[in-house]
Chain A
Amino acid sequence: NAGVTQTPKFQVLKTGQSMTLQCAQDMNHEYMSWYRQDPGMGLRLIHYSVGAGITDQGEVPNGYNVSRSTTEDFPLRLLSAAPSQTSVYFCASRRGGWTYEQYFGPGTRLTVT
């Protein structure tokens, strides 16, 4: 099992550009999530999905879109990048049920200039 994979690992964007951060998992997990991690702050939930075709907003959804067409993939789209979106982004997945383990990907470090 590869677990949770993310691409790219690093990305630099100019303000106003758009891009998609890729996330895939091979564990057949129902739940997938996107978080951002900023210095001095805890992980913050951007969007999540409880299954293919079902997504919902988290704590900080503005400026981001998601879709879940398959169980395996959960891409995060930045519509028009802003410097405030400079951050490290983590994708995570887990089975349904609150005591199941949540597995994180290795992260994507995004810089918006």
Chain B
Amino acid sequence: KNQVEQSPQSLIILEGKNCTLQCNYTVSPFSNLRWYKQDTGRGPVSLTIMTFSENTKSNGRYTATLDADTKQSSLHITASQLSDSASYICVVSSSRGAYGNNRLAFGKGNQVVVIP
């Protein structure tokens, strides 16, 4: 069972409109949550990283929220632009264990298409 679930799987929005992407996770114990933007044919690029004590973080027109109690995060895109067309990936890190990358749980991504 995937430990990180993202919704909606895909959405189409008009340029200039806002949208919100959801990420629910079951990863425990929690260390941090990251949102990445992945343009078609390119590697993911980080938008935000949030730890347990942070409940909101912004990066330009992108604002991420985190509710560690309900294990939910959202990514809000304000005044969307054509360049926002991409896949947005939620990644949750667990603090279990001493070392290793095998504690990162990846969501499947939200595919966003912005149309003029």
Within the complex, the shortest CB–CB distance from A28 to chain B, in Å, comes to 18
Contact yes or no, A42 B102, CB < 8 A: no
Residues of B within 8 A of A99 (CB): 31-32, 49, 51
Pairwise interchain contact B101-A98, C-beta atoms closer than 8 A = no
Contact B44 A104 (CB under 8 A): yes
B60 touches A (CB below 8 Å): no
Give bound CA distance, A4 to B116, whole Å: 33
Interface size on B, residues (CB 8 A): 26
Interface residues on A, range: 20 to 34
Nearest CB of B to A5, in Å:
11
Q: Scoring A residues 45 to 63 as 1 if CB is less than 8 Å from chain B, else 0, what string do you get?
A: 1001010000010110000
Q: Are A58 and B31 in contact (CB under 8 A)?
A: no
Scan residues 58-116 of chain B and give those whose CB is less than 8 A from a CB of chain A.
Answer: 89, 93, 95, 99-102, 104-109
Chain A residues whose C-beta falls within 8 Å of the C-beta of B34 in the assembled complex: 102
Complex contact B49–A107 (CB within 8 A): no
Cβ of B1 under 8 Å from chain A: no
Q: Does A43 lie at the interface of the complex (its beta carbon under 8 Å from any beta carbon of B)?
A: yes
**Beta-carbon contacts of B37-49 to A below 8 Å, as 1s and 0s?**
0000111111001
Q: Assess whether B46 is in contact with A42, with CB atoms less than 8 Å apart.
A: no
**Residues of A bordering B, CB below 8 Å:** 4, 31, 33, 40-45, 48, 50, 56, 58-59, 90, 92, 98-99, 101-107
Q: Which 4 A-B pairs have the closest CB atoms?
A: A104-B43, A42-B106, A48-B101, A43-B106
